[in-house]
């Protein structure tokens, strides 16, 4: 994925086990051993302002 992620893209990138691969996270700039709140910060950085705490 290039550019900013959307909430749909974030959810669509989940693997069947329910998580995300290291490669996907790295493409988004998220470190492995994901920090608490990483999805919320990723959504905010993509310009999605209506995000619940995750």
Q: Which pLDDT does position 20 carry in this prediction? A: 95
Residues of the chain short of pLDDT 50, as ranges, are: 1-3
Query: DSSP per residue over 5-50, as a string?
Result: --HHHHHHT--TTSS--HHHHHHTTPPSSPPTTHHHHHHHHTT---
Q: Which pLDDT does position 47 carry in this prediction? A: 74
Q: Which pLDDT does position 52 carry in this prediction? A: 60
């Amino acid at each position: 994925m290039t550019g900013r992620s959307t909430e749909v893209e974030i959810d669509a990138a989940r693997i069947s086990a329910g998580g995300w691969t290291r490669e996907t996270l790295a493409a988004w700039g998220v470190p492995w051993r994901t920090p608490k709140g990483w999805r919320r910060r990723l959504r905010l950085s993509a310009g999605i302002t209506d995000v619940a705490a995750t």
